[in-house]
Amino acid sequence: MIDTRNYSAPDKLKDGTPVTVRAIRAGDREVIAAAFAELDRESIYTRFFTYKKQLTEAELRQLTEVDFEHVVALVVVEVGVDGETLLGGGRYCSEQPLHLARSAELAFVTGDAHHGRGVASVILKHLVQIARDRGLAYLDAVVLAHNRAMLAVFQHSGLPMDSKLEAGVLQVRLHI
């Protein structure tokens, strides 16, 4: 079984940029807070379905102090001479322990400067690999109907997909 707590794998973005996909760490707290502060209003709304200026202490803890029994959380980083640059992150979670679950809820965020580079597609590929290893059958996502970029990631994933529209929100199910 894949060790999600210590997960790290090389990959490449659409433009050929080498990146590392790794498990999020508690030490990523400041980087996550700084990356959130650079998101525009619309990016925040499409991820959180509300407008907010900053993450609360509880939200930062939830994002970075991950319980890998119920959550798999990955980040994509570009490694340079000055260290890592966070490009985006994604996760799936379940109320049940993941080794017992059949499905989990999926969420992503990509830094505004990195939209269109394939960050979410890279994260999804790794999350699907881990989910298959864990025996999950589905990944579910709640996506605003106007979030065409996220919907394109799902549509181009090669995974069978069902969706249901309710009040401007799509319930998406990816069959893995």
Q: Is the pLDDT of residue 47 over 80?
A: no
164: in domain: no
pLDDT at 1 over 80: yes
* pLDDT score, position 54: 77
DSSP string for residues in 58-102: HHHHHHHS--TTTEEEEEEEEEETTEEEEEEEEEEE-SS-TTT-S
- Total count of domains within the chain: 1
- 168: pLDDT strictly greater than 90: no
57: domain range? 4-135
Residue 12 has pLDDT above 90, yes or no: yes
The pLDDT tens digits for 52-107 are 787 888 988 988 999 999 999 999 999 888 889 999 999 999 999 988 899 999 99
pLDDT band for 137, please (50, 70, 90 cuts): very high
DSSP 39-65: S-HHHHHHHHSS--SS--HHHHHHHHS
Flag whether 170 is in a domain. no
Nearest alpha-carbon partner for 159 in 128, 117, 131: 128
- The answer to whether residue 80 sits within a structural domain is yes
CATH of residue 89's domain is 3.40.630.30
